[in-house]
Amino acid sequence: MASEGQNRLERVVLTGEALSRLSPLLEADRAQAVHDLEADSHFSLPGREGPFHLHLSIQEGRLVFDIRRQDDTPEAVHVLALGPFRGLIKDYHLLVESYHLAIAEGREARIQAIDMGRRGLHNEGASLMRERLASKAEIDFETARRLFTLVCVLHQRS
């Protein structure tokens, strides 16, 4: 069994065309989620020792977890259908748009309400992420929340 320090994501790389068009808020969400995952995550694969490098992308409408060793040797590739996440992703982007408007209008109470909604949405997304990855990888709730953020960033509308 790997030690707890090995059951983590040491590096997270996102790939995709959408990343070149991120709004400042989505870029901040991306940067924070990647930083947090690399600093403190729980991610393990059955029968394999980490730490791992994760290359996350959306390809042909599917979420691809390309998991590699520290030397970039392929370890596993897990592909998840995006369908179960689509409603949550759409809601996430609507909340981001609402947040931009609330900031522009200086509506502090609205900003706080949107932040509460985002937290709830992230919790729901994290639960779904853990459920969808359950047979493939073990992740804790905070890692799942951050991965959900990255899925939303990858799936942003142009």
> Around Cβ 15, how many Cβ atoms within 10 Å?
14
Q: Is the pLDDT of residue 79 over 70?
A: yes
Q: Is the pLDDT of residue 80 over 90?
A: yes
Helix/strand/coil for 146: helix
Least confident of 11-20, 91-100, 142-151: 11-20
At residue 56, φ and ψ (nearest 5 deg) are -110, 130
Q: Are strands 62-68 and 43-44 parallel, antiparallel or unpaired?
A: unpaired
Higher pLDDT residue, 15 or 80? 80
Tell me what percent of the residues of the chain surpass a pLDDT of 70: 93
Helix/strand/coil for 60: coil
Rounded to the nearest 10 degrees, how much is the dihedral formed by the CA atoms of 143, 18, 121, 102? 130
* pLDDT tier for residue 3 given thresholds of 50, 70 and 90: very low
51 upstream amide cis, omega within 30 of 0? yes
Q: What is the mean pLDDT of the chain?
A: 90
Helix/strand/coil for 65: strand
Q: Is the pLDDT of residue 12 over 90?
A: yes
Strands, E assignment, the chain = 9-15, 43-44, 52-59, 62-68, 74-81, 138-139
Smallest CA-to-CA distance from 82 within 151, 2, 13 is with 151
